Structure 1
């Protein structure tokens, strides 16, 4: 019984450690839009956000940075909890410890409700936040948050992270790759011993014996000449009867056959649109499908998180519409129209590079009438991101 309890405790500790948030997380937060005109001008409230976390079991502590640049920022201490079952994360800013802000305005602290996810080797924290002023606890706004785990800081690495990195260097994990290498060597040696060289000898012997048997059998030259003479005589007798009968009844039918052929030609000659090579050589992953009754979609594309020179190209229905555009805090705009005839569009985002912090990440905001969609996109040099727009007329 004691062994069973120890085993269950070990399993719980493994599940908790598998979701280790210790490290640097960077991205941004965006306040809920209150003014549609500000959105159209691309002047919505978007700020950079960095969190450095030191996790111990299900609890963690750390610091946060809210900033537009590394010159004007606010730094706060934080603490929170992690649910290893649901992967939900609660982060609360406790106290402002450093402030370098331009202009006036009250100081606000945030409470974040996040969801942890992992896609391949990339780790993300995404969710919502609420905030209040430290002076009188009044509402300071709310919005959305997106963070990605990164190796470097825009400021400096906290001492608790530096110490953990030193401990990791002193106590490296045991190498597991040796077992895989030995298995691979065994697999490589097996095909080398399989092919025998003795199979080819009986094949060549049978091939040499067959031709002399066939050559003496072919003796009937006279029969072939007789058949050829008969074949020459037959076409001379057949042409005169059909030539007199065919032209008279077919004079009226010829223009009908020609007119039918002329109608079919323009349908066959329509060439299909060529597919760009970059859409064929990379994997195209469907990220989101948006079904809407709006006939015009206004699309804005930003760099998601820190601006690190990410560059993209955008294809709409396999046609290049944006070429090698650098993502920044200022929106890149695009308009897509939908109707009953053009009720399906496929937008593909291609990463032209991975920026300073791989992979290439972007935030796409789609305004479809009264509805708004946010799509967070990750693309690499092996995989493109696909967003599908479908038109469905309203009631």
Structure 2
């Protein structure tokens, strides 16, 4: 009976481990004749919510020549197969005689010599002309660090707003650095004292996530899937000072069973910042 229970627990552990796809995956992307280069580097920064996949993909020759896409995808936990579709071109920095391809990946997760690997094929179309691109193969391994800045998921409307946004140049004061136990993080922001019409704009790793939102006794909530070996910095910018300066907020950070409170104060001269890092 003990052996059966042990085997059952082991199987649950292995299944759970095999399906933990959150993180950084890097390797190679090949392309058949007709492409700019026969082999590229490929890095994907993947966040998983159930069977849904989102993130950023960089295909690059080196770190100065790359194409960055946003992607969505689905993962089948039974077959270990995923389909990833690049749905938004974010950055292009490639030679003028090359073209960017918007790709669809068909990948399968497995273990290879003790390492997690994603193997499969890709096909795509040229981002501008919409002509088919020469297809190829993909090999990716899980890695601890990224070659590029970790992308923060940002709604398109906020990305457009940020591109034209001009804020006052203020000093930023780091309030504290939090060490977190699990990658699933929830951030709640409340008014820290008497509710006095304080409004704030919030950035996470320089990405606008909340714009001119009023602090009350009900939380403004952000969720983050943190990657290891990565620093995250939340900055609170005071849009006004309310009727009782300065602009103050209570931040409650929840990571698994861990819950931490931080009090922030921002003014027309200074922003407040908190850093997060996942325990290694």
TM-score of the superposition, structure 2-length normalised?
0.49
More strand per residue = 2
Higher Rg of the two aligned structures: 1
- Name which structure has the greater RCO, CA cutoff 8 Å, separation 6+: 2
